[in-house]
Amino acid sequence: MKYAFSFLAVIALILIAWAGSHIPGMPYFFGVFVPYMAIAIFLGGFVYRVVQWAKSPVPFSIQTTCGQGKSLDFIKHNRLEAPDTTAEVVARMLLEIFTFRSLFRNTKSELHAGPKITYESSKWLWLFAIIFHYSFLMVVIRHMRLFLNPVPEVLAFLDWADSMFEIGSPSMYMTTAGLIAGVVFLFSRRLVNRHVRYISLANDYFPLVLIFAIGITGALMRHFLRGGIDIVAIKQLAVGLVTFSPVINGEIGSIFYIHLFLVSTLLIYFPFSKLMHLGGIFLSPTRNMKNNSRAVRHINPWNPDIQPHSYAGYEDEFREFMVEAGIPVEKELPAKKDEE
């Protein structure tokens, strides 16, 4: 049901863009207004969310140590997994962000008769997450060539490298294939893996279907519907958008508006969804804190003023017993009257 809803939602978006782009005057709405609005919401929303997170303090030092902490000099310190310095934290974070290090640890547990539980390494999720994210990143970078005139050499090089296998004409980008394959895997996994299937929400399927549709419409434009679109006009519009002088010359083709509308939807959806993990990972206290909490005091800005049950109160309650047991006390017992 939840994935069906996601498909329906994306199909609806496609229909809106397709139908809308045929209405006279509406190309400006879909080609100029919506993208501007989407970018504004994306940037504003992203910043807003990060600021909202940053407003809450980190009261305690709650790093998760995944290795030996800094201790005695003959005990080997795992600098990446229990970082003690800022440099070590940065290294840990970079590995986390660029190599998905924690996900790389993933294991699969199985229950067998006995009972016996086994654990084996399971790297499929890691592999496809890497393929998906890096492909997506490359696709985004590649698209920059549309907005820049002349195209910087580095982008031209990436473009060449991405299509170096020269499959098809124009040759297929590896990252387009990677993006679509990644999405298909992540989506299928949600259906097949029983744990994930049970926890998945429409919020989980929707972005996958949306990105899938973005990838497919992009590939269609490049490989199959090339005749129906005006590349020069697209480039003009793209350059016009970044220079704040957008123009739409002639018929660009519905498939382009559909693609652009889906991308705009993704941008608008982004800050209000789980996709914000892109920003959140940088702020996750279990990963970005140093494991030096005994060496350097961490400050809690709202540290409440709470005193312990006082020693004086404790001794008052138990003084007699303490004296009798020979435990030193601060105040001696009062002299008993009948002991004269």
Partner 1 sequence: MAVPKLEQLSKSVVQGPSLATGAIPTRDWMDIPTVFKEGNYAYVAKKDKVEYLDSQKGLHFPNAREWSPEDEDWKLPENWKEIIINGLKERLDKFRSLKIFMDCCVRCGACADKCHFFLGTGDPKNMPVMRAELLRSVYRNDFTLAGKILGRMAGAREMTVGVLKEWFMYSYQCTECRRCSVFCPYGIDTAEVTMMLRELLHLVGIGINWILEPVSNSNRTGNHMGLQPHTFKDNVDFLADDIENLTGVKITPSFNRKGAEILFITPSADVFAEPGLYTAMGYLILFEAIGLDYTWSTYASEGGNFGLFTNNETMKKLNAKMYAEAKRLGVKYILGGECGHMWRVLHQYMDTMNGPADFLEQPVSPITGTVFSNAASTKMVHISEFTADLIKHGKLKFDKSRNSHVKATFHDSCNPARAMGLIDEPRYILDHVVDWVEMPENTIREQTFCCGSGTGLNTDEIMELRMRSGLPRANAVKYVHEKHDVNMLSCVCAIDRATLTSLMNYWNPSVGVCGVTELVGNALILEGETRGELDEGLRTML
Residue 60 is encoded by which pair of tokens?
């305690």
**One of 86, 153, 277, 338 touching partner 1 (CB under 8 A):** 277
276 in contact with partner 1 (CB under 8 A): yes
* CA–CA distance, 190 with 220 (Å, rounded to integer): 26
Q: Are strands 116-121 and 107-112 parallel, antiparallel or unpaired?
A: antiparallel
User: Least Å distance between CB 167 and partner 1?
Assistant: 31
Q: Do residues 14 and 213 lie in contact, with contact meaning Cβ atoms separated by under 8 Å?
A: yes
Answer for which of 202, 231, 239, 242 binds partner 1 (CB under 8 A) is 202
Interaction between residue 204 and partner 1 (CB under 8 A): yes
Contacting partner 1 (CB under 8 A), which of 21, 135, 265, 292?
292
Q: What is the DSSP string of 260-303?
A: HHHHHHHHHHGGGSGGGHHHHHHH-HHHHS-S-TTTSPPP-TT-
Q: Is 297 in the site for partner 1 (CB under 8 A)?
A: yes
SS3 60: coil
Q: Which of 30, 35, 96, 209 binds partner 1 (CB under 8 A)?
A: 96
- Using rule CB under 8 A, residue 86 touches partner 1: no
Let me know: does 188 contact 132? Beta carbons within 8 Å: no
From candidates 274, 316, 331, 333, binder to partner 1 by CB under 8 A: 274
Q: Which of residues 41-70 bind partner 1 (CB under 8 A)?
A: 49, 52-70
| Region 129-158 residues binding partner 1, contact defined as CB under 8 A | 129
Spell out the SS3 assignment of 209-230. HHHHHHHHHHHHHHHHCHHHCC
Stretch that binds partner 1, among 12-20, 21-29, 142-150, 192-200 (CB under 8 A): 192-200
Q: Rounded to whole angstroms, how far apart are CA atoms 323 and 340?
A: 20
Of the candidates 3, 30, 100, 256, which one interacts with partner 1 according to CB under 8 A? 100
CB of 246 to partner 1, least distance (A): 29
CB atoms within 10 A of CB 211: 24
Task: Build a one-symbol-per-residue string for 313-332: x at contacts with partner 1 by CB under 8 A, - elsewhere.
Answer: -xx-xx--xx-xxxxx----
Distance (Å, whole) CA 160 – CA 162: 5
Minimum distance from CB of 44 to partner 1 (Å)?
13
Decide: is 197 part of the binding site for partner 1 (CB under 8 A): yes
